[in-house]
Amino acid sequence: MGTATFQPVPGGVCAAKGFSAAGVHCGIRRNQSKLDLALIKADVRCAGAGCYTTNKVYGAPITVDREHLADGYAQAILVNSGNANTCAPGGVELARATCELVAKAVGVAPQDVLPASTGVIGQAMELTPFAAGIPAAAARLAATEAAAHDAACAIMTTDTHPKEYAVELTVDGKTCRIGAMAKGSGMIHPNMATMLLFLTTDAQVEPAVLQKALSAVVPATFNQISVDGDTSTNDTVLLLASGLSGVKVEAGTPGYEAFLAALTAVSEHLCRELAADGEGATKLLECTVTGAPDLQTARAVSKSVIHSTLFKAAMFGADANWGRALCAIGYTPGDFDISKTAVRLKSAAGEVFVCENAAHHPYSEEEAARVLKESEIQILVDLGSGSATAKAWGCDLTYDYVKINGDYRT
């Protein structure tokens, strides 16, 4: 059985062979200093996979993505920020028209273009900005770290910084890469968070295997993020595989397991970035549940803790109010004995044991406050009822969250 290793590399969505990217300002957003249109283009037709929002109200681009990925292949991704193209007149027709513009500009088939949008819901969007912006983006396409960065900046809304990551994977002496860019700051809650995420790889993977891998990773990562409890209308995760590394990934092989591990690592890294950049957030919260009777319970409990408004507010105030965490654990569906639950709070400043057997465990409030003043907090929950484990990511709840969302449209 082969061994696999992976390590971070620069380049974002352009780290993998065969991908170029660009980001431009096309006029969807009023602020001319903000890029608002991103384009990713592959040198070859790629195997493709996608996962989308579970919201009954979903953006027009998702309708088109599902149509265009029905055969399992795509070659370009177009993303705009500033307008969600959701619940707007003629949204699907506009999304299809943008695909036609991309096809003409970069020489691919319209059905091989995957559109995505993020921004304000319910506002009509015109084709005019795209008609100017798509040729401009096509002219700037480059397979460089700088071009990938521009694309990552162009998909931001209330994000405070672009989110990019890439790894190089080695399997039995052969290397391939996985690159990614993401946006997400508010309207983040399972299942999948307000999140656009675009992954590229130069591994050689058949569409069905690629979809299997993505569908395995999403429940354990992106569905485990919560910032504010709102499930977005436009959540989209797209993965394209160019195959240009020559590294073949087949289901049921060590290579597939290695690819899955690397894809999970990239996804977990971006989960942390997305949660830490929650609107108004000052702290990243990571809840790790161990000792659960099954995986479903482990995931549900970890999400309950980081989703609790009261607990998130306590973390903002550096208040070790462990009862709020226990309360969130207690109302989580699942068959487990709450009386065995233990809770620890941990950060770079140390660790405090605050709850044992669902009751108070003696600790120093001063020490706890010091631990909770750090920017990354781990909540360690042991249910004592089995061997299943899971993680979830969130952030504290601050005054600035209300300020940001009080005038989002301005």
Q: What is the distance between the alpha carbons of residues 99 and 78, in angstroms, rounded to a whole number?
A: 8
Q: Containing H/E element for 261?
A: helix 254-276
Task: Compute CA distances 245 → 52, 75, 177, 181, 281, whole Å.
Answer: 28, 17, 8, 20, 39
Give the tokens for residue 175: 């290397």
Whether residue 194 lies in the annotated active site? yes
Peptide bond into 83 cis (omega under 30): no
Measured at the CA of 324, the angle between CA 320 and CA 328, to 5 degrees, comes to: 140
User: Strand 174-183 vs strand 196-201: parallel, antiparallel, or unpaired?
Assistant: antiparallel
User: Residues 6 or more apart from 30 whose CB is under 8 A from it?
Assistant: none
Q: Residue 395 phi/psi, 5° resolution? A: -150, 170
Q: What is the distance between the alpha carbons of residues 168 and 6, in angstroms, rounded to a whole number?
A: 5
Of 53, 157, 194, 236, the active-site residue reads 194
User: Residues 6 or more apart from 154 whose CB is under 8 A from it?
Assistant: 23, 24, 35, 36, 37, 38, 79, 81
Q: What is the distance between the alpha carbons of residues 270 and 272, in angstroms, rounded to a whole number?
A: 5
- Helix ranges (H only) for 141-205 are 145-154
Give the tokens for residue 11: 């380049």
Q: Any bridge partners for residue 378, and if so which?
A: 286, 346
Sheet containing 359-360: which strands, arranged edge to edge? 359-360, 350-356, 342-347, 376-382, 284-292, 388-395
Q: Residue 20 phi/psi, 5° resolution? A: -125, 160
| Contact in structure between 305 and 319 (CB atoms under 8 Å) | no
Active site residues per annotation = 194
